[in-house]
Amino acid sequence: DTGVSQDPRHKITKRGQNVTFRCDPISEHNRLYWYRQTLGQGPEFLTYFQNEAQLEKSRLLSDRFSAERPKGSFSTLEIQRTEQGDSAMYLCASSPRQGETEAFFGQGTRLTVV
Amino acid sequence: GESVGLHLPTLSVQEGDNSIINCAYSNSASDYFIWYKQESGKGPQFIIDIRSNMDKRQGQRVTVLLNKTVKHLSLQIAATQPGDSAVYFCAETYNTDKLIFGTGTRLQVFP
């Protein structure tokens, strides 16, 4: 499978716990994006990377959220001290380069905070 | 499985009919637009894109129309099939390649 891969697909955690999600983009895609989606809404931009550099972060990304892409390949998104409001689908996407090219999405990680 | 878009606007069409899904985008400076299809429990899937210097683009059974004057985008699906049932999102971007998604529309195809 050469698409965007996300792990895990589902995560249930207790409030206050930390969670980490992983995204493996399509090979050789320079750009990697994280989005969050709640029921009934379109995906909301969180942050994106050009290779290993994090170029932009949304105001949605509070200080409890951190994303990394240490070697310019896979990326991780960590949420510390999870809150019930963090429950959502976390989507990762990648694209070959800047410009008018589509972003390819993974299947997402569904987070439920109880 | 997970259901995307429980409270979204819904378009119901009969199998074989044409579907038109509309989207109003927000940024008059946006220069690239994409339509995505999202099935329950899955990530968005690219359907078709269009640049701001075009007003129409056709794919296989799909056509996207862009009206920059009123910041409106539409997706036309010809001969709609049951497999087209999903939530459809338009997305816009300007310069930085960060996609901003609009409110989705649920398409329901009945026999």
Tell if the CB–CB gap between A41 and B41 is shorter than 8 Å. Answer: no
Question: Is A5 a residue whose pLDDT tops 60?
Answer: yes
Within 8 A of B89 by CB-CB distance, chain A residues are: 42-43
* Residue A99: predicted pLDDT: 58
Question: Rounded mean pLDDT of A90-99?
Answer: 84
Cβ contact (<8 Å) for B102 and A42? yes
DSSP-based three-state secondary structure for A98: coil
What are the two backbone dihedrals, phi and then psi, of residue A69, each rounded to the nearest 5 degrees?
A: -145, 75
Contacts of A18 (CB under 8 A, 6+ apart): A78, A79, A80, A81, A82
Q: Report the phi/psi class of residue A98: left, alpha or beta, with left for phi > 0 and alpha for psi in -120 to 50.
A: beta
CA–chain centroid gap for B60, Å, is 14
DSSP-derived secondary structure letter, A102 = P
Please report the pLDDT score of residue A38 as a whole number. 92
CB B8 within 8 A of CB B103: yes
Q: Residues A26-69: pLDDT tens digits? A: 998 999 999 999 988 899 999 999 999 999 899 888 899 999 99
Mutate one of A10, A100, A109 to test the B interface: name it (highest B CB count within 10 A): A100
pLDDT band at residue B4, thresholds of 50, 70 and 90? very low
pLDDT of residue B3: 39
